[in-house]
């Protein structure tokens, strides 16, 4: 299986970034090397998964959540054997280590908390007599998180496709496709669903410096699906819009506050301001697991700052002078007032987001 390309174009769900192979290993597509190389990274060991999330072998808020769910469930077996008496404490410590890898995306914490809650519930009901049974249930839970994502992404994408007109020109940023979201995609899921509906969308893809997720991953996924795509530099969005080449903008999300403020890949906020100026709809597409109801607004979202070498270098070569300093926020926050709608599995949410998000959370399977 390693090295194969499991994309099923047009009718498939896209390429799954996380999978469990026949011998129970947790394998991640190494997204750092796409599209040059398609290869899997073995993240079965807990430390390897922590490393893989940090260095972005796996990336995209939902995919990180799925990977973390598997990792914690798999690790629970080791913890159960090594220190059964302190099982929950040890599991929580592992959960915290996972949460610390990437601070901005909330899905990671969501998946970790879900696994730990399940463990707590089972142990409080049944005790720690048969921990391996708990472990098995946690593993099933991790699989359910993945299956849930595919289903949820398909559902939200069908809603999103209702916002796409025939021959729409869509601008997107970063990668919110199958690779980022564990099946189908969110922003790219909307494109995929519109394509399958026969709407013939065309996509402008922001290259998404510094790590080029748009150029490398979104362009790759769109090619898999034979959806027409054009790569642009992040600096070209305003000109594209002014020339009338953009009908709508859609991106994914890493964390959505209760009021609709949304953290996503650095550069998203630029697009939201530009779209607003040009009166072009700006949509966020994300599962409800991306909502952090505990946060009133985006000002509370922690922004990850990554190593400046990502900005100073490109393709392993320095692009600037020796000793240069760089600034490297990995995310920015788009205020709710710039977001035309948030596309979720519970439907298309509109302002006032405080109310519409609350309603959606109350009705959704989450």
Catalytic residues: 254
Nearer to its own copies, 46 or 220 (CB): 220
- Sole window of 18-26, 114-122, 150-158, 227-235 interacting with its own copies (rule: CB under 8 A): 227-235
Nearer to its own copies, 11 or 321 (CB): 321
DSSP state of 303: P
Q: How far is the CB of 281 from its own copies (least distance, A)?
A: 17
d(CA 172, CA 118): 36
Tell me: does residue 1 bind its own copies (CB under 8 A).
no
d(CA 348, CA 305): 31
d(CA 231, CA 36): 17
Q: How far is the CB of 137 from its own copies (least distance, A)?
A: 41
- The neighbouring-strand residues paired with 292 are 257
Q: How far is the CB of 304 from its own copies (least distance, A)?
A: 12
Nearer to its own copies, 246 or 346 (CB): 246
Q: Which of 88, 232, 361, 366 binds its own copies (CB under 8 A)?
A: 232
Contact 257, 286 (CB under 8 A): no
Tell me: does residue 82 bind its own copies (CB under 8 A).
no
- Sole window of 19-27, 136-144, 317-325, 347-355 interacting with its own copies (rule: CB under 8 A): 317-325
Q: How far is the CB of 47 from its own copies (least distance, A)?
A: 31
d(CA 266, CA 332): 5
Q: Which of 296, 319, 337, 355 binds its own copies (CB under 8 A)?
A: 319
Tell me: does residue 320 bind its own copies (CB under 8 A).
yes
Tell me: does residue 325 bind its own copies (CB under 8 A).
yes
Which tokens is 200 given?
Answer: 């013939």
d(CA 240, CA 275): 11
Tell me: does residue 88 bind its own copies (CB under 8 A).
no
Rg of the Cα trace of the chain?
A: 20
* Residues within window 233-252 making contact with its own copies, judged by CB under 8 A: 233-240, 242
- Rounded (10°) CA dihedral 229, 230, 231, 232: -140
Tell me: does residue 57 bind its own copies (CB under 8 A).
no
Q: How far is the CB of 211 from its own copies (least distance, A)?
A: 10
Site string for its own copies, 264-293 (x = CB under 8 A): --xx-xx-xxx-xx----------------
Number of residues that bind its own copies (CB under 8 A): 52
Closest CA to 98 of 155, 137, 128, 58: 58
User: From the CB of residue 156, how many other CB atoms can be counted at a distance below 10 Å?
Assistant: 29
Nearer to its own copies, 94 or 169 (CB): 169
Q: Which of 124, 198, 279, 327 binds its own copies (CB under 8 A)?
A: 327
Token match 């996924």: residue?
221
Beta strand segments in 96-247, E: 169-172, 202-206, 229-232
Strands 248-251 and 255-257: unpaired
Nearer to its own copies, 217 or 342 (CB): 217
Handedness of CA 265, 267, 272, 273 (dihedral sign): positive
Which tokens is 150 given?
Answer: 């595919």
Interacting residues toward its own copies by CB under 8 A: 35, 204, 206-210, 212, 215-216, 219-220, 223, 229-240, 242, 266-267, 269-270, 272-274, 276-277, 311-312, 314-315, 317, 319-327, 329, 332-333
């Amino acid at each position: 299986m390693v090295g194969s390309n499991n994309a099923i174009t047009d009718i498939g769900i896209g390429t799954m970034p996380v999978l469990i192979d026949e011998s129970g290993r947790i394998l991640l597509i190494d997204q750092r090397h796409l599209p040059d190389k398609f290869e899997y990274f073995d993240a079965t060991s807990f430390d390897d998964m922590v490393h893989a999330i940090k260095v972005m072998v796996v990336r995209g808020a939902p995919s990180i959540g799925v990977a973390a769910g598997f990792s914690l469930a798999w690790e629970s077996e080791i913890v159960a054997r090594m220190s059964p008496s302190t099982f929950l404490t040890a599991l929580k410590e592992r959960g915290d280590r996972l949460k610390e890898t990437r601070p901005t995306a909330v899905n990671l914490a969501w998946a970790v908390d879900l696994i730990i809650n399940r463990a707590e519930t089972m142990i409080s009901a049944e005790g720690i007599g048969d921990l391996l049974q708990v472990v098995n249930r946690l593993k099933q839970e991790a699989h359910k998180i993945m299956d849930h994502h595919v289903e949820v992404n398909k559902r939200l994408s069908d809603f999103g496709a209702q916002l796409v007109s025939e021959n729409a020109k869509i601008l997107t940023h970063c990668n919110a496709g199958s690779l980022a979201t564990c099946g189908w995609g969110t922003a790219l899921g909307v494109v995929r669903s519109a394509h399958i509906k026969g709407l013939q969308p065309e996509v402008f893809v922001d290259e998404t410096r510094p790590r080029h997720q748009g150029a490398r991953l979104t362009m790759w996924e769109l090619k898999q699906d034979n959806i027409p795509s054009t790569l642009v530099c992040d600096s070209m969005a305003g000109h594209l819009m002014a020339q009338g080449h953009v009908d709508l903008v859609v991106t994914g999300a890493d964390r959505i506050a209760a009021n609709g403020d949304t953290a996503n890949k650095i550069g998203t906020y630029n697009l939201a301001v530009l779209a607003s100026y040009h009166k072009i709809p700006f949509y966020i597409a994300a599962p409800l697991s991306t909502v952090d109801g505990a946060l009133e607004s985006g000002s509370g979202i922690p922004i990850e700052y990554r190593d400046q070498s990502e900005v100073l270098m490109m393709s392993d070569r320095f692009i600037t002078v020796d000793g240069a300093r760089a600034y490297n926020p990995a995310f920015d926050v788009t205020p709710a007032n710039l977001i035309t709608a948030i596309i979720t599995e519970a439907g298309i949410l509109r302002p006032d987001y405080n109310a519409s998000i609350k309603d959606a959370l109350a009705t959704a399977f989450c």
